[in-house]
């Protein structure tokens, strides 16, 4: 294990990573369960609005995470990682962030090109700001489905990659993203971007 492997993400980045991962997993299952509720029934409207509302809150958390990521440099990758693996890691992280943004955004946009709009937690109705346009709805809804599928694939690859690091390379990569007992470790804020690793 080299020095870089001992470096860790900030405790805020770690908390955001795991909270968002859990919430996304739940939201994904929620989305799939929506398929079982017959269209045109009151239950469908209720649960779809709940899905939209939790999705918007998760979207805000994702924006917070991106803001944190933008202003806090991640720890350097282990020296033992060959250049192609560094490139693959960087690309997969960018794609993961892309899907995490695309999911709530496409859902929000689709909802605003449908007469239903959003009823936030079934309490407050946000009237759609767009027209009831079936084509635009289908485009954004299609993007929502595609982003969900892509996210599931990327997360599977992500988990396999971490497993390979732990079981084959034995470089302790998971510990960089694992909550630590004791006083929190925060690295100095920086103005560095996604490319800085
Ligand atoms: C934040 C993360 C989100 C995830 C992971 C997610 C995931 C999903 C999934 C997996 C489905 C089922 C897709 C399928 O059956 O193929 C779905 C459906 C749906 N989602 Fe989301 N969603 C998210 C956020 C949102 C947001 C913010 C909105 C709207 C504001 C939204 C609106 C919808 C709607 C309306 C459907 C049903 C579409 C239909 O009837 O075909 N979602 N979502
Ligand atoms: C919905 C599920 C998940 C999503 C969306 C997700 C997303 C991400 C993203 C975007 C990063 C890059 C962090 C950055 O450099 O800014 C990351 C890092 C990481 N994730 Fe996940 N993750 C998920 C689940 C998991 C799971 C289940 C594990 C454990 C097997 C895991 C372990 C890690 C580790 C160890 C890192 C740090 C990698 C490194 O040091 O370069 N993630 N994750």
CA angle 93, 70, 151 (to 5 degrees): 25
If one residue of 5, 17, 96 were mutated to test the ligand 2 pocket, choosing by the most ligand atoms within 8 A of its CB, it would be: 17
Ligand 2 near 63 CB (within 6 A): no
CB 180 within 8 A of CB 8: yes
pLDDT value, residue 6: 65
Smallest-distance ligand from the CA of 161:
2
Q: What kind and span of H or E run contains 173?
A: none
Please check whether residue 27 is in contact with residue 51, taking contact to mean a CB–CB distance below 8 angstroms.
yes
CA of 14 to the centre of ligand 1 (A): 25
Q: What is the pLDDT of residue 191?
A: 37
Q: Give the model's pLDDT for residue 7.
A: 86
Per-residue pLDDT at 182: 60
Q: List per-residue pLDDT tens for the chain, 197 residues long.
A: 454 556 899 999 999 999 999 999 999 999 999 999 999 999 999 999 999 999 999 999 999 999 999 999 999 998 889 999 999 999 999 999 999 999 999 999 999 999 999 999 999 999 999 999 999 999 999 999 999 999 999 999 999 999 999 999 999 899 999 998 765 554 434 433 444 45
Separation between Cα atoms, residue 187 and residue 181, nearest integer Å: 17
Name the residue among 89, 71, 68 with its Cα closest to residue 192. 71
Ligand 2 pocket mutation, candidates 158, 159, 193, criterion most atoms within 8 A of CB? 158
Dist CA 134 CA 118 (whole Å): 16
Give the Å distance between the CA of 107 and the centre of ligand 2. 23
**Which of 81, 148, 177 to mutate for ligand 2's pocket (most ligand atoms within 8 Å of CB)?**
177
Q: Which ligand is nearest to the CA of 26?
A: 1
**Which residues 6+ apart lie within 8 Å of 189 measured at CB?**
71, 72
Tell me the domain boundaries of the chain.
21-63+78-169
* DSSP letters for 101-142: HHHHHHHHHHHHTSTT-EEETTTEEE--SS---HHHHHHHHH
Q: Is 78 in the pocket of ligand 2 (CB under 6 A)?
A: no
């Amino acid at each position: 294990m080299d020095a870089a492997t001992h470096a860790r993400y900030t405790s805020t980045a770690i908390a955001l990573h795991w909270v968002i991962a859990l919430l996304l997993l739940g939201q994904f299952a929620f989305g799939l369960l929506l398929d079982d509720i017959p269209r045109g029934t009151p239950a469908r409207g209720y649960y779809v609005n709940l899905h939209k509302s939790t999705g918007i809150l998760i979207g805000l958390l994702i924006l917070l995470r991106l803001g944190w990521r933008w202003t806090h440099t991640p720890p350097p990758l282990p020296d033992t990682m060959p250049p192609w693996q560094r490139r693959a890691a960087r690309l997969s992280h960018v794609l993961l962030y892309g899907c995490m943004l695309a999911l709530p955004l496409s859902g929000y946009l689709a909802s605003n090109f449908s007469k239903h709009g959003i009823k936030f937690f079934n309490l407050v109705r946000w009237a759609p700001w767009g027209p009831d346009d079936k084509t635009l709805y289908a485009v954004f809804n299609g993007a929502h489905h595609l982003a969900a599928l892509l996210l599931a694939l990327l997360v599977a690859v992500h988990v396999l990659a971490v497993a390979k690091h732990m079981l084959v390379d034995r470089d302790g990569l998971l510990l960089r993203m694992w909550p630590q007992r004791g006083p929190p470790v925060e690295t100095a804020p920086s103005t560095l971007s996604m490319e800085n690793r």
